Amino acid sequence: MTARYVADVEQILALVDRAHIVGATIESAIADVEREVNDLGIEWEGEAAEAHRSKHELLRQELNDMRTALAQLGTLARGAHDRYRAAVDHNKRMWP
């Protein structure tokens, strides 16, 4: 029995597009929460304030990591798509 490898490059790109949509949705929801917190106009002090600032900074770093990862994923997926399509086209010309 031989295994058959199939790469649905269009489906891969669609998955990457969906990941970008999910990322944008997450960022939008976080921005909404940040606006609501800022609109409260409350100055925090003490341990709770420091814990909030610390977690907020971590969240910002993780959002930046997510953006970077999604950008890399998109670049790699498009590159793989283009190379795969080029190989298919080349093979079709070689073996009509």
Which DSSP state fits 23? H
Provide the CATH number for the domain around residue 81: 1.10.287
- 2 lies in some domain: no
- 35 lies in some domain: yes
pLDDT digits (tens, 9 = 90+) for 2-41: 667 777 889 999 999 999 999 999 999 999 999 998 888 8
Taking the C-alpha atoms of 37, 41, 45 and 48 in order, what is their torsion angle to the nearest 10 degrees?
A: -20
- 52 lies in some domain: yes
- 4 lies in some domain: no
Q: Please give the tally of structural domains in the chain.
A: 1
- 72 lies in some domain: yes
Domain that holds residue 20: 9-94
- 83 lies in some domain: yes
pLDDT of residue 63: 94
**Nearest partner of 30 among 60, 70, 71, judged by Cα:** 60
pTM of the complete model: 0.75
62 neighbors 23 (Cβ within 8 angstroms): no
Q: What is the mean pLDDT of residues 71-80?
A: 95
Q: Who wins on pLDDT, 1 or 65?
A: 65
